[in-house]
């Protein structure tokens, strides 16, 4: 980890549940081997990958994503616990939250509960925050304006997340403005 900066490189490889075996996820051990040849500070993986590829991951700090949904579902549900992550020896927990839809109350409750459990277990928490809803034709619509993303960061920080992941803002120039807000 880069100890002289507050900037880190996270590599997220937790897309298999929602997106299937996309390119690069067919042979996770090989993919991880290539990625870990570079300057990676943290990985974000699912618990199955962590267990199967522990020997490749080695001492790399990993966040285990404990929330999931199939394909375009907006409702992420908890599929593991911070206690399970602690028992596996991972660095922290990752939770995916979609706000701006009818499921947001459940996901906010889950985030709040997960923050408390992580604090008790001395695990770091990464909140992956998105503003997603369904459009008129059923497609997933995501807001990426700086004001919305700033609000997402604030929600995560106020609930106690140690790290926040958001989508790239549109325009990208807005990122620096609100990164300091949390």
Q: What is the pLDDT of residue 178?
A: 64
Helices (H) and strands (E) counted in the chain, each on its own, are 8, 9
Residue 106 structure tokens:
């459940």
The reported pLDDT for the residue numbered 23 is 80
Find the largest Cα–Cα distance for the chain. Answer: 48
Give the pTM. 0.92
Q: What is the pLDDT of residue 1?
A: 45
Q: Which of 121, 132, 104, 133 is nearest to 162 (CA)?
A: 121
Q: Give the mean pLDDT per block of 10 residues along the chain (182 residues).
A: 70 87 83 94 96 96 96 93 98 98 97 98 98 94 92 96 91 70 62
pLDDT reported for residue 20: 78
Q: What is the 3-state secondary structure (H, E, C) of 34-51?
A: HHCCCCCCEEEECHHHHH
Q: What confidence score (pLDDT) does residue 17 get? A: 84
Question: What pLDDT shows up at residue 179?
Answer: 65
Q: Which two tokens stand for residue 89?
A: 């020896």
């Amino acid at each position: 980890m880069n100890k002289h900066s507050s900037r880190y490189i996270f590599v997220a490889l937790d897309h298999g549940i929602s997106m299937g075996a996309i390119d690069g996820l067919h042979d996770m051990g090989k993919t991880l081997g290539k990625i870990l040849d570079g300057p990676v500070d943290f990985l974000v993986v699912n618990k199955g990958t962590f267990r199967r590829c522990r020997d490749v991951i080695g001492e790399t700090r990993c966040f285990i994503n404990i929330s999931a949904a199939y394909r375009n579902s907006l409702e992420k549900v908890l599929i593991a616990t911070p206690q399970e992550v602690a028992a596996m020896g991972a660095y922290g927990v990752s939770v995916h939250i979609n706000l701006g839809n009818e499921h947001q109350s459940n996901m906010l409750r889950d985030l709040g509960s997960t923050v408390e459990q992580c604090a008790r277990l001395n695990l770091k928490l990464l909140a992956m925050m998105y503003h997603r809803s369904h459009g008129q034709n059923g497609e997933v619509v995501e807001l990426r304006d700086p004001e919305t993303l700033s609000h997402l960061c604030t929600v995560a920080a106020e609930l106690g997340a140690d790290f926040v992941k958001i989508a790239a803002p549109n325009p990208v120039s807005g990122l620096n403005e609100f990164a300091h807000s949390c």
